[in-house]
Chain A
């Protein structure tokens, strides 16, 4: 595995060989009207193979001589335009711009006046795009949709909807595993398909997976069948319930595999509608308030994001909404534009992540949603925010991302600490888990904010790991509610002795979620924290302290509800081992989390390659 990995890195490095087909010409002015003793521009970024010509504009007797670094003032070897001259021009020999690197030069008679400049040669990496011959990704979108329509034909049948849903979701699970394996750990996008929708505007259904999206596809494929099994005995309007679950699955898949901004927005919004109905019809006591708050909050943020998308489209000017093409055009966006548009996109994504202070919709939505809804919400929907940030915002707007790094770091750290602190104070188990989601996604945001390969990889791994363990924790809350009718931690106690096996699984889940080594969350947190230390040094103390709080609330909740003396306030006789439809999903999630905790490379390999590509792309600017 290691050899394949390094070979592919080498291959992607080779892909970055200068593209001689489109060599550009650049001009550096030697002396300008307002100041005769500068080179303009003093820092020039070019691609390998481009031509650079120095043009004299002032008559003060300048020359161009290479020096070894940005401080040195003496010419010993390299290019030199000759003796100081008053006018004319001189072309840099083209062999010097063939390789990546930086060339420093000074004007020899005026080194004392700091007349120096540099030329940075950097190649734009090509994004590999491989089109598949079998439309795996379209099938991924179509099957859940067909399943949901099929279910709606069995509205009055009590058991048909769940069976159809189970078959459909198992089928898509198989598809997603195949897609994950086929996507592999190569650089660039695989299994691509393109269906032109509106050619005049450049909108097409462009589908493709890379190392960033294939784990998300796998995650969605894993979580949905478990949701269906967990909701096996849904009594109220089961047909509509399972149909909505399947529509959500389609929309979620759509968000993760589409590479076109317009279609991305459509799937992004379509996710909201089934979720609204899931909360509003099958939710808890405060479902009306929670569902409206959820949809209006997230919708408002998304429309701001839409304005950002449109601005990107216009500024790129290539008449295409394709994310790949717009990212390739990112050198043409000036810094102010990038900052403003990144702010607009960040608002849309930050509400979804959710990042403090825009997280307030999450506790209400989570607590009031039915368990199946919470599972999909926490497991997959929250990942859309960070995924969108890494896919849609950062490659296209690297300067904007760079500008916002301090803000992202602060928001991430605040999310970690505030989320953990709030969890510590919760009595409702589901609300505790909801705030823990805020905290964990803060860790992931921190990984993204480090702008390093390890940080990004840690963030994506955290998205996957949290997507496995958070649904598990919601299932735990669901089991407790189901058995004893309450999720209030003070009212629970001593459950473990009445349901030993189930309690054992509960313990493993909670320990995994708090970051125990051997489970997936640990790998993610480790990667993020190492990356954060590399980029920001001892500021690490703050998020690490968050881990103490995390351990605190997890263990405290566990101890108070499962262990200790039997509770007076609930009927302990009702506590029994969880039935098969609740137990096996929990067990499956534990096994998956453990597997990826012990063998993280199966995920880390594709993820790291994709993250490296994203960063290489940003570095092109």
Chain B
């Protein structure tokens, strides 16, 4: 048993990516693609969890970090935790797509292949040790998701969203690449470790020269690219349109998986590589965080489409998470990692219900949710749990993760940069503000009668997934949040070592 076994999850995905087109040629059965994808993702998830978090069960000798593939891949708790989140998200999306799409939906083989390659890209990003691998992973994932967004070729909204996403995405990637190239020119190294030692040397005076402006400019460019991926102000304009236009399972992938991938990349770059030169980028990230929280929450209030509303809410949540980046302490970053993980479940859970409601023909406006509680208590309860969790009301999981995030950031602010305290207070007040629009959906579900009196049966898949969401967000996580926080702390140590 050696370390290259740890690469097995990715290999499985690669194999499946090649298998599904083969299946397309071999059979006419549209269901086979989703079965193949589901099985691969499930197996991948199992391997990830077993090999990293329960190594004794499989008699595997685990070190705290492992380098494979000629040191292009680093496997540590940070990367494995996020890989689990990516694969779990992809599995949910895959299962959801199985029930969301009709039997005769065209191009399903392409869809599942793209889903798997998107996930593969995210996993590459999580493990990247240098900028080229990172960029490669981002691009693999991004191109797959561009195609997935525009997947429904006959639907105007879908293709428009896809075009927007592609153009803005490609442009942002170009900006990122420019920033990376500047850093490469400056430091002479493309790996994170190499650049980090250069910057540390810069700090100690071992390396002489004043490169502040170059570092500042390159971090701006990289921020522009990564900021697009996590959808923060002012790089957020694509999110509402794309979240609304794309087929809902794809939106789930974007909201839960792609966003987390953006944060993984951001954390690797800013919290590890450029940690020692934080003075250059701290303030700008703080400003972006504040702007995202405020603008995201304010814009969400007036939205009438559930997809757009949740998109703006994602923008705001990204703002909260960014508070931890200038804080730079272990506790703050652990809180951020906890919140990213829990947010994936909360947003994912919400979008699953959006998909369920949309699939039965009720539509995607907020009015579609009127009277949902009468139609399906389970779905309404699950949506309520997800939304209240997003606000941060106890006793749900979202409160705990938000609390950990604000706790860590406040501590950092009290002992370090005092302006972070202002960010925490803004975050807390913004959470109160967000209660309004989340509550709107809850009110519509419980207090209003349905717009039309159709008799609706929701798909079993959606109901099972929403039940699991309630179980996780309302019961499991609140009781066992200490264990989650321990894992996040371990991940932080692995990240910022």
Contacts and interface: CB of A to CB of B under 8 A. Distances in A.
Interface string B325-359: 00000000000000000000000000000000000
Given A281-B446, A292-B439, A303-B431, A269 B482 contact: no
A303 B429 contact: yes
Per CB-CB distance, the 9 closest pairs between chain A and chain B, nearest first, are: A300-B432, A266-B394, A303-B428, A198-B482, A269-B394, A303-B432, A280-B447, A310-B410, A299-B432
A121 interface: no
Interface string A282-317: 000001100110011001100110110011001100
Contacts of A306: 403, 428
Interface stretch (A172-180, A270-278, A373-381, A492-500): A270-278
Contacts of B424: 307
Interface in A233-266: 265-266
B392 to A, nearest CB: 8
Contacts of A197: 482
B122 to A, nearest CB: 30
A430 B380 CA distance: 33
B430 to A, nearest CB: 10
A316 to B, nearest CB: 12
B485 to A, nearest CB: 8
Given A200-B486, A306-B428, 10 more contacts: A198-B485, A266-B394, A270-B394, A270-B395, A287-B447, A288-B443, A296-B432, A300-B429, A300-B432, A307-B406
Nearest to A277: B446
B181 interface: no
Nearest to A155: B377
Contacts of A280: 443, 446-447
B439 A200 contact: no
B436 interface: yes
B312 to A, nearest CB: 18
B388 interface: yes
20 contacts: A197-B482, A198-B482, A265-B394, A266-B395, A269-B394, A269-B399, A270-B394, A270-B395, A272-B393, A280-B446, A287-B447, A296-B432, A299-B391, A299-B393, A300-B433, A300-B435, A303-B392, A303-B429, A306-B403, A310-B407
Interface in A188-208: 197-200
Count class of interface residues, chain B: 20 to 34
A368 to B, nearest CB: 12
B411 A314 contact: yes
Interface in B391-439: 391-395, 399, 403, 406-407, 410-411, 414, 424-425, 428-429, 431-433, 435-436, 439
B481 interface: yes
B439 A307 contact: no
Interface in A515-563: none
B266 to A, nearest CB: 25
Contacts of B482: 197-200
Interface in B452-477: none
Contact of B435 (A199, A200, A281, A295): A295
Contacts of A265: 394
Nearest to A196: B482
Contacts of A288: 443, 447
B443 A311 contact: no
Contacts of A273: 388, 393
Contacts of B432: 296, 299-300, 303
A292 B436 contact: yes
B393 A198 contact: no
Nearest to B377: A155
A199 B486 CA distance: 11
A346 B19 CA distance: 63
Nearest to B394: A266
B410 A314 contact: yes
Interface of A: 197-200, 265-267, 269-270, 272-273, 276-277, 280-281, 287-288, 291-292, 295-296, 299-300, 303-304, 306-307, 310-311, 314-315
A277 B428 CA distance: 24
A358 to B, nearest CB: 14
A46 B307 CA distance: 62
Nearest to A297: B432
A281 B425 CA distance: 33
A270 B481 CA distance: 18
Interface string B367-402: 000000000000000000000100111110001000
Nearest to B411: A314
B53 to A, nearest CB: 19
A554 to B, nearest CB: 35
A336 B411 CA distance: 18
A307 B393 contact: no
Contacts of A311: 410, 414
B481 A299 contact: no
Nearest to B448: A288
B394, B395, B482 — most chain A CB neighbours (10 Å): B394
A56 B469 CA distance: 69
A292 B443 contact: yes
A303 B433 CA distance: 11
Contact of B447 (A200, A272, A281, A299): A281
A281, A295, A307 — most chain B CB neighbours (10 Å): A307
B414 A314 contact: yes
Nearest to B424: A307
Contacts of A295: 435, 439
B401 to A, nearest CB: 13
A314 B412 CA distance: 10
Nearest to A344: B425
Contacts of A267: 394
Contacts of A299: 391, 393, 432, 435
B21 to A, nearest CB: 49
B411 to A, nearest CB: 6
Contacts of A198: 481-482, 485
A303 B446 CA distance: 25
Nearest to B431: A303
A436 to B, nearest CB: 29
A300 B425 CA distance: 11
Given A295-B435, A314-B414, A307 B428 contact: yes
B101 to A, nearest CB: 34
A288 B448 CA distance: 10
A266 B388 CA distance: 13
Nearest to B395: A266
Given A266-B395, A269-B393, A280-B443, A296 B428 contact: no
Contacts of B414: 311, 314-315
A217 B1 CA distance: 60
B67 to A, nearest CB: 30
A276 B447 CA distance: 11
B68 to A, nearest CB: 32
B410 A296 contact: no
A296 B435 contact: yes
B47 to A, nearest CB: 30
Contacts of A272: 393
Contacts of B391: 299
A267 B399 CA distance: 12
Contact of A307 (B410, B447, B486): B410
A363 B431 CA distance: 25
A277 B406 CA distance: 28
A322 B329 CA distance: 25
A265 B403 CA distance: 11
A304 B428 contact: yes
A471 to B, nearest CB: 26
Contacts of A300: 429, 432-433, 435
Nearest to B439: A292
A270 B399 CA distance: 11
Contacts of B433: 300
A310 B421 CA distance: 11
Contacts of B407: 310
A11 to B, nearest CB: 38
A295 B443 CA distance: 12
A266 B481 CA distance: 14
Nearest to B410: A310
